[in-house]
Amino acid sequence: MAKPTHNSLLITIFFVITVVSISSPLSFASQPFNFRRAPRFPKKLSHQTRPLQLQQQYRYDTRYFSQRLDHFSFADHPSFSQRYLINTEHWVGPNSLGPIFLYCGNEGDIEWFADNTGFVWELAPRFGAMVLFPEHRYYGESVPYGSQEEAYKNATTLSYLTAEQALADFAVLVTDLKRNLSAEACPVVLFGGSYGGMLAAWMRLKYPHIAIGALASSAPILQFEDIVPKETFYNIVSNDFKRESTSCFNAIKESWGELISVGLKENGLIELSKTFRLCRDLKKTEDLADWLDSAYSYLAMVDYPYPSEFMMPLPGYPIREVCKKIDSGPESISILERIFQGVSVYYNYTGKVDCFELDDDPHGLDGWNWQACTEMVMPMSSDRDASMFPTYDYNYSSFEEECWRDFKVIPRSLWITTQFGGHDIKSVLKHFGSNIIFSNGLLDPWSGGSVLQNVSETIVALVTEEGAHHIDLRPSTSEDPDWLKEQRETEIKLIEGWLNSYYQEEKATFNM
């Protein structure tokens, strides 16, 4: 689930900022940028901005499975090789009905998600579980048509990159694996964070015969159409900064107008390039605005109470550190110089980066932009008063035009709720859903699009005030606060209850 993204991209998590009418710095301040695509979910950043190399923390075997390109057609399409990670070290085996813990792969390299989902690995010994991390199609090494270049070539080759196809991949893979291991009776428990959390919840609903339950962490399954207010995401990001420092909030809010004012000056782009230590001269102001916005949005997602390296090497409560930098800047430096010092906490906390590249995906091979332009349409706006971001009213027509320009596709904004539901979620799930945990931290801007209230005795919402983006799925540390430990224990008890109920039913069936 990825810093949010823009058209220029980042974690691949998606969002574009373009200048609309600019006749003066004043008009810019009222409507300077055009936020079209929603921010991306957190994913691994490119080598240009992520200084650390991924190091495997957990033991697993890497295997490959031949998947159909189109599960919903009998046409003769080529197959592709889906990568998956598997660990059976603690699995008690089929005779003991050892459970299978399946993490629903997100929009990125599966090894990165496996490395950052310590909760699943830590649970495996306790339950005697197999651990399975299948990769999402079109990401990492699981790319159809032989290469990423061919797979991302046009709308025809990209047309099989959908949530429905990905869920079918997971279902087919685990069914085949269980058959080959004579483990058909072994229960499957789903896990997922961010977009992966959405997939986990949807898979439990769509394939209840395959998985007995799902932990969907930071899963904004309601971030579609008009189910939640469009300004929710950016208001939460803004509130995260405002709770640390009102002056910091105000400085960021003011900085957008200053940014465009400097950019419009003669040699203004060169001045901005120097102020923000860019590796190459800035071509347009909105690229820099996009870069700044990404930092703020990702900081809200990963505002963890302890140091982490999920997105970037960061201190605990990184927003607090950003605001300290912005607020403590001497009066002799400009507001943009203070902003640069603040965002450097995100982009350069280690101090090892000499200059900054704004484009982290120069080849444009970002599958999430495709998904956002087809079925993952998440409307977002920026409120004039509550948000520290430039004011923007969501414009579907502009978004549609952009998607047609980029991919020659027209978004299907109603498809996700048609396929998986979302409207009147409590009453609907109460009638046909069960065994789903929706966990959210209110610091996470994606929490506004998730399920925050219990639906029934078996569809439970676990909400923490201080939690950030799927913090419960991260590896446990000695610095975990008590509320996080308690949240995980609650999740463990619920999962244990699902498994015990399943075993009792299996025993009763066997005795018959």
Catalytic residue among 109, 245, 381, 469: 469
Q: Is 67 left (phi over 0), alpha (psi -120 to 50) or beta?
A: beta
Nearest to 212 by CA among 97, 85, 84: 97
The H or E element that residue 80 is part of is strand 79-87
What letter represents residue 347's amino acid?
Y
The answer to whether the CB of 41 falls within 8 A of the CB of 220 is no
Q: How far apart are CA 368 and CA 104, in angstroms?
A: 16
Q: How many CA atoms within 13 Å lie on the side-chain side of 319?
A: 28
DSSP state for residue 13 in the 8-state scheme: E
3-state SS, one letter per residue, for 119-132 = HHHHHHHHHCCEEE
Tokens representing 511 are: 């005795």
- Residue 29 burial by Cβ neighbours in a 10 Å radius (0-12, 13-18, 19+): middle
Residues with Cβ < 8 Å from 161, sequence gap 6 or more?
A: 137, 138, 367, 370, 371, 374
Residues with Cβ < 8 Å from 226, sequence gap 6 or more?
A: 379
Residues with Cβ < 8 Å from 310, sequence gap 6 or more?
A: 42, 116, 302, 304, 474
The answer to whether the CB of 415 falls within 8 A of the CB of 194 is no
Catalytic residue among 109, 142, 169, 194: 194
Nearest to 34 by CA among 376, 278, 290: 290
What letter represents residue 339's amino acid?
I
Q: How far apart are CA 304 and CA 319, in angstroms?
A: 9
Q: Active site includes 194?
A: yes
Q: Active site includes 27?
A: no
Vertex 197: Cα angle to 112 and 104 (nearest 5): 55
Inter-CA distances, 245 with 237, 329, 448, Å? 13, 14, 22
Handedness of CA 240, 385, 369, 72 (dihedral sign): positive
The answer to whether the CB of 203 falls within 8 A of the CB of 230 is no
Nearest to 392 by CA among 216, 160, 234: 234
Q: Active site includes 469?
A: yes
Catalytic residue among 109, 240, 360, 444: 444
Query: Could you give the residue numbers annotated as active site?
Result: 194, 444, 469
